Structure 1
Amino acid sequence: MKWIIALILLPCVLQAQTRITYAVKGNDTLYIDHYEPTVSPNGMSIMFVHGGGFTGGDPKNQKPFAEGMQKRGYNVFVISYRLYLKGGEFGCNTVTPVKLKAISTAVEDAADAAKYIISNAATLKVDTSKFFISGSSAGAETILQLLYNPWAKTDKARYDYFATPRFKGALIFAGALIDINTLKQENWVPMLLMHGTKDQLVPYGTASHHYCPANSDGWMIMFGAKTILEQAKTWNKPALLYTYTGKGHEVSGYMFREFDKIDSFMQDVVKGKTIAPEDIVIGAGVK
C-alpha cells in the first residue's frame, strides 16, 4: 500500500533545477538555473534576473518564483551575473559612473545569458517566439536597460544581436530606466510593471535613484514604472502597470505572490490580445 501511495504522489514532486554554465569571465563562472515545467508545458519561457542592488543577491533566492511558474507550465531560467559592487553599496555615496558601470556589467551578462538560451533553444525546449524576460529591483533595472539599451551604439558587437526583437514581453518588478530617450515606438515590447508609490529606492515616477540629493556623489535621475506607462499611453503601446498605493520597495518581491496576474498577462500577449496601456491602482492594504 505504501508504494502505491508513493506512486500516486510522485507527479506532484517538483522537478529539481538543472544548473548550466553560460560564460566564464575572469573569476566569475556565470550560470543559469533551469526549471522545467512540472505540468503540461504551455510553450512559454522566462529568463529571470535577480535583484540585490548590484552588490548581492543569488539566483537560489528566486526559487519560489521559478517553482510557482513551473507549476503553471512555464519553462524558467534564473541567471547569475557579475556583481560589480559585491560587498559594497549602491547608495548616494557611490559615484554615478561606478553605478553606471555596475548596471552595464549586469546588462552585458544578461545579454550573454539570453543569447545562450536562444542559441540552445532546441535543447532547452524554448520556443523563441514565446520567450519573455523578467527581473526584480536591480534585475528589473538590468532588463530594462537591455531592452532599451543606452550602450547599444558603443558595444555593437554585443548588442546588435538584440536589434532584432528577441523577447515577447517583459515582467518588471520595481525597475527603472536610466535614459527615457532609449524608449522608442519601434523597440517597444509589451510590459507588465509592478511598483509601489512609496518605493524609497527605485523611483515610481521620475526622480533621483535612492532619492539622493543633487549634490551627492551618487545623484542619478531614473525613470520608473509610472513614467514608462505615461509614454505607453502617448504611443498607445501595450503596458499594464499595477500601482500599489503606499507600498515601498517590497513590491520588488511581488513576483512571489502575483502569479495569477503574471500568468494572465503572458497568456494575453501570446494569444495576441489587445493590451491597452492601463494603470491598475491597488490601495494600501488591498491584496
Structure 2
Amino acid sequence: MLIHHRYSQNHTPRLHFTLIVLALSLLSIVHTSAQQVTIDADIEKKTFTFATRDSAVLQLDVYRYSGTPANSPCIIFVFGGGFIRGSRDARIYNRYFNTLVKNNYVVISISYRLGMQGAKRITPFRVKPLRNAIAMAVEDLYDATNWTLKNAHTLGVDPAKIILSGSSAGAITILQADYEKCNGHEIAKVLPENFRYAGVIAFAGAILSFNGALKYKNSPPAPTMLFHGTKDNLVVYNKIRFLYKGFYGSSHIAKVFRKKKYPHYIYREVGMGHESSYTPMNNKQQEILWFIEQYILNKKPYLMDISFDDLQKVRTMHITRDALYER
C-alpha cells in the first residue's frame, strides 16, 4: 500500500544546531498551554530505578491495568525538551498514556540525562555537545530497554514486542537508538545481539549522522510511524547537511524507507510547525493504534505517506531564528 505526496524543502548547507537546541527547549513553554488530563484512576503507576550514570539516578514509570494480559506489547516513551529540560511524567502525555493502557499496552516512561544543560553555543564546527547529549539519551534508553527485558515476565511484557515512542528530543532519541542498533554501532552493543525493537512512533524527530548519507547497513529498521509538520522550524523536516554531518528529519527518513521498501507510515501536517511533536498524541490516537495493530502485531509491510492540510487550523509554532535568540 502506497499513498504518497512529495514535498520539497530547501536548506542552506549549514547545520543550524544552535537553532535546533534552543528551539527544542521551548517545548516546556508550549506544553503549559496544551490540553492536560490526569492518569485514569484505574491505571496502576509504579516507579522503578533502572540505572545510575554519572551519579544520576535514572527512574521510569510503568503504567498498566491490573487486568492487562500477560505477555503484552510494551511502549517505552521518551519525553521532549531539547535535552535541557522536561520530565517523564509531564501531564501533556497523560492522554496518550491513558489510551495506550486502555488498549492493553504496557507503557514505560523513562528519565534520561539531559546532556545539553549548561552547554555552550553550538555551531557547524562545534557540535560535540549536541552529539554527546543524543548519545547520552540513547545510552539511557538502552539501559531502560535492558531493564525491561530483564523484568519482562514480572511486568507482563512480551520482550519481542517492545515499541519505542518519543516527542521532539525524545523522538530524536528513539530514531537514533533504532538507527544505531540496526547499524551495529558500538553504543548499541549493550543490547542483546538478537534483540530488535518491534516498532518506532516518532513525533517530530530526526537522526544525526556523522557518516554521510542515511543508511541502514546491517539490518532493516523497525516499522516506523513518523509525524511531522512541513513548516517545522525547530526540528528539521527534511534534512540539513554539512560535509559528512547531517540531521535527517522525517521527510528524508521516509524517502530512504520508501526507496528500500522498509515498512513505514509518515503523516505530514502541511503548513504546520512543531505542533506535531505533541498534538498527534491527542488527536491521532486511532491512527496510532491502527499502526501498532497492523504494522507491528500483524506485520503488514505497508508503505504509507499521508499529507493532511487543515486550512482552519491555527499555525502556532512557526518560530523564527531571531525570535529564538531573543528568548
TM-score > 0.5 by shorter chain: yes
Q: Does 2:283 match 1:257? A: yes
Shift of 1:273: 4.4
Which AA in structure 2 matches 1:265?
Answer: F
The higher-RCO structure (CA 8 Å, 6+ apart) is 2
Which AA in structure 2 matches 1:84?
Answer: G
Residue 102 of structure 1: aligned partner:
133
Q: What secondary structure, in the 3-state scheme, does the structure 2 residue paired with 1:44 have? A: strand
Q: Does 2:266 match 1:238? A: no
* Most deviating of 45-54 and 171-180: 171-180
Higher fraction of helix: 1
Identity of aligned residues (%): 32
Residue 59 of structure 2: aligned partner:
31
Q: CA 1:160 to 1:108, structure 2 compared with 1: closer, same or farther past 3 Å?
A: closer
CA distance in 2, matches of 1:256, 1:88: 33
| Aligned pairs (5 A) from 1:60-209 | 60-61=89-90, 62-86=93-117, 95-149=126-180, 152-155=184-187, 159=189, 161=191, 163-179=193-209, 180-184=213-217, 186-207=219-240
Residue 51 of structure 1: aligned partner:
80
Contact kept in structure 2, 1:196 and 1:248, CA below 8 Å: yes
Shift of 1:82: 0.4
Q: What secondary structure, in the 3-state scheme, does the structure 2 residue paired with 1:148 have? A: helix
CA distance in 2, matches of 1:82, 1:268: 34
Alignment deviations for residues 32-60 of structure 1 (CA, whole Å, 9 cap, x no partner): 11001376549221001111100011011
Q: CA 1:34 to 1:144, structure 2 compared with 1: closer, same or farther past 3 Å?
A: same
Q: CA 1:203 to 1:163, structure 2 compared with 1: closer, same or farther past 3 Å?
A: farther
Contact kept in structure 2, 1:38 and 1:70, CA below 8 Å: no
Residue 9 of structure 1: aligned partner:
none
Q: Does 2:300 match 1:274? A: yes
Which AA in structure 2 matches 1:279?
Answer: D
Root mean square deviation of aligned Cα: 2.7
TM-score (norm. length: structure 1): 0.83
CA distance in 2, matches of 1:64, 1:207: 33
Residue 17 of structure 1: aligned partner:
45
Q: CA 1:274 to 1:68, structure 2 compared with 1: closer, same or farther past 3 Å?
A: closer
CA distance in 1, matches of 2:122, 2:233: 11
Corresponding pairs, count: 265
Unaligned runs of 5+ in 1: 1-11, 209-213
Shift of 1:131: 1.6
Q: CA 1:89 to 1:45, structure 2 compared with 1: closer, same or farther past 3 Å?
A: farther
Residue 5 of structure 1: aligned partner:
none
CA distance in 2, matches of 1:197, 1:163: 36
Contact kept in structure 2, 1:229 and 1:277, CA below 8 Å: no
Q: CA 1:153 to 1:169, structure 2 compared with 1: closer, same or farther past 3 Å?
A: closer
Unaligned runs of 5+ in 2: 1-39, 314-327
Which AA in structure 1 matches 2:175?
Answer: L
Q: CA 1:192 to 1:185, structure 2 compared with 1: closer, same or farther past 3 Å?
A: farther
CA distance in 2, matches of 1:162, 1:43: 20
Alignment deviations for residues 246-267 of structure 1 (CA, whole Å, 9 cap, x no partner): 1111101022332111100001
Which AA in structure 1 matches 2:48?
Answer: I
Contact kept in structure 1, 2:223 and 2:296, CA below 8 Å: no
